[in-house]
Amino acid sequence: MLFSGKVSVVTGASQGIGEAIALALAKEGAELILVDIQKEGLEDVAERIIDQNGRASIYPMDVSEMEEATEVVKKAIEAHKGIDHLVNNAGITRDNLLMRMKEEEWDAVLAVNLKGVFNFSRAVIRHMISRRYGRIVNISSVVGLMGNVGQANYSASKAGVLGITKSLAREVASRGITVNAVAPGYVATSMTEKLSDSVKKTFLDLIPMKRFCTAEEVAHVVKFLLSDEASYITGQVININGGLYM
């Protein structure tokens, strides 16, 4: 198995892309540290991993809180003797046109989507440097590259994720640590399932492949970037969008 003996932290692991990533890594032998503000969702994902003979621990917390992130990483290192992988996936939306957007809608999205990446990366990076090994994958979005109406806050946060990815990659490349980003397009989730057929058609008309991405397809790319097969790839943005943005 690819990740036998490895310890992987996945934020936003209670559902959607984070859940798919956690399950994919567990199948490859990784021991999972599952992080999310939704405790019940984490418990469900951990139970699925354990039922499949995997190993998982849950850490319910708010990724936007620096002290909480630092404490989670400290506890995880003590309990599991180290951290090999960090997947910064936690994210929220608070969509609105910019002229109507409330300050709290802007602040909430930036706090989780961008500051959360900073918090966990900062908490884990000294440990990875001391071991001269580590893999960090940040989940961005196609809208961080092309923008989207009603998502100035979300687009800004995901563009910021690309910036921190490239900067940190340069800082730690000589220490055996890679830092990359994945930018999915529209992903088939419970959220997209609730859209009307006309709205779905509008989105699909923009995608050359004429279908939504699956969470599992994103997980496959993350799994590759965490593997030793990707040991010479760093500071890159891998687009998974069916041709929506080229």
Residue 194, pLDDT score: 65
Query: Which residues belong to the active site?
Result: 154
Q: Kindly list the domain boundaries of the chain, sorted by start residue.
A: 7-238
Phi, psi for 27 (deg, rounded to 5): -65, -25
Paired tokens of 235 = 């500071």
HEC string for 14-53: CCHHHHHHHHHHHHCCCEEEEEECCHHHHHHHHHHHHHCC
> Kind and range of the H or E element at 67?
helix 66-80
- Which DSSP state fits 96? B
What's the pTM?
0.96
Residue 172, pLDDT score: 98
Residues paired with 139 in a beta bridge: 182
Distance CA 108, CA 111 (A): 5
Query: How big is the chain, counted in residues?
Result: 246
Residue 169, pLDDT score: 98
Residue 202, pLDDT score: 85
Q: In the chain, count of helices (H) and strands (E)?
A: 10, 9
How would you classify the pairing of strands 31-36 and 7-11? parallel
Q: Tell me, which fold does domain 7-238 have in CATH? A: Rossmann fold (3.40.50)
| Average pLDDT, 10 consecutive residues per value, the chain (246 residues) | 96 97 98 98 98 97 98 96 97 96 98 98 98 98 95 97 98 98 91 73 92 96 98 98 96
Q: Which of 11, 59, 49, 51 is nearest to 29 (CA)?
A: 49
Q: Are 228 and 178 in contact (CB under 8 A)?
A: no
Name the 3-class secondary structure at 192: helix
Residue 191, pLDDT score: 63
Sheet with strand 85-88: strands edge to edge: 55-60, 31-36, 7-11, 85-88, 134-139, 177-184, 237-240
